[in-house]
Amino acid sequence: MRRHNPKQYHFIQWLLLGRRPELLSRTHPKQPSGRNGAVDGGAFASCHGSISNCNLVGNYASYGSGIYDCYGSISNCIIWQNGAGIRQQIENCSTPVYSCIEDWNDTGIGNISTDPCFVSMGYWQDMGTYWQWVDDGSDYHLQSEVGRWDPNRNEWVADANTSRCIDAGDPNSDWTAELWPHGKRINMGAFGGTPQASMSPSSVGNRADLNNDDLVDYTDLMVLTGKWLREDILLREDLSRDGLTNCIDYAIFANEWFWEQ
């Protein structure tokens, strides 16, 4: 299972209906009983397949507010702010790897517990007798000083901070859909491994190396001309990142001709 967005936390419904469900109300009482949230696993429960590149945020259950009783592989995920009052991100699960998990002090290769630095995130609001998750207008892209995608403006913008989740995913995961600068390593979170992945501070690679073979040559030229005058967002061939593949991109490409890593 992949690409679990916080606004799609009722994942089974999403799979069965084949559409993106609306944000459901998420509340739980001050003395959790499971009546206003899932009993087991607010995001996933008894799921034994692969869970990768998911944002699991703002869920609640009596046991394992994030994930409960899942023994498949868990990797490249951001698991944060699940459960209010007492946080409980993961319970009775296989050991995650290369994931950002709030308050995590257990084992697992590549795991971190620092703030993922989302652009904006929902929060638990104390309503007196219960907690309410408020998620209006949140943006779960990772902040990056180099550039991150703004879906409201449909353009790349720069932030004051850079998330440690960038270039921190499993080094064996496929990163090649991420646009340069990509660090040649997948990001954690729902946008890791996609064209919307926040940009890396690493300069490894080259934006004109369109097939990621560490050489800018005729093969890359064929890739570029294959999208000539294509007007679209998030194209790797759009080297200037202005939404159109044209002579500006060709000039950038020509300047990198025969570059080799």
CATH number of the domain encompassing residue 246: 1.10.1330.10
Q: Domain check: are 200 and 215 in the same one?
A: no
Looking at residue 63, its pLDDT comes to: 79
Q: Domain check: are 183 and 99 in the same one?
A: yes
Q: Domain check: are 192 and 261 in the same one?
A: no
Tell me the two tokens of residue 5.
Answer: 């967005």
Q: Domain check: are 174 and 132 in the same one?
A: yes
Looking at residue 32, its pLDDT comes to: 40
Mean pLDDT of 188-217: 97
| Domain limit, last residue, from 179, 204, 229 | 204
**pLDDT tens per residue, range 11-39:** 332 222 222 223 333 444 444 433 235 56
Percentage of residues in the chain having pLDDT higher than 70? 84
Q: Domain check: are 159 and 245 in the same one?
A: no
Q: Domain check: are 243 and 122 in the same one?
A: no
Does the pLDDT at position 83 exceed 90?
no
DSSP annotation of 252 = H
Q: Domain check: are 242 and 143 in the same one?
A: no
Using an 8 Å Cβ cutoff, are 10 and 22 in contact?
no
Give the residue numbers spanning the domain of 123: 1-204
Q: Domain check: are 183 and 136 in the same one?
A: yes
Mean pLDDT of 244-259: 98
Q: Domain check: are 199 and 240 in the same one?
A: no
Q: Domain check: are 132 and 7 in the same one?
A: yes
Q: Domain check: are 28 and 122 in the same one?
A: yes
Spacing of C-alpha 142 from chain mean position: 7
**Full 3-state SS string of 6-26:** HHHCCHHHHHHHCCCCCCCCC
Mean pLDDT of 118-128: 92
Secondary structure (3-state) at 120 = strand
Using an 8 Å Cβ cutoff, are 98 and 188 in contact?
yes
Q: Domain check: are 98 and 218 in the same one?
A: no
The number of domains in the chain is 2
Residue recorded with tokens 């491994």: 193
In the structure, what pLDDT confidence band is assigned to residue 85 with cuts at 50, 70 and 90? low
Strands 148-150 and 44-45, sheet pairing: unpaired
| Domain limit, last residue, from 204, 234, 253 | 204
| Domain limit, last residue, from 189, 204, 219 | 204
Higher per-residue pLDDT: 135 or 209: 209
Q: Mean pLDDT, the chain, as a whole number?
A: 86
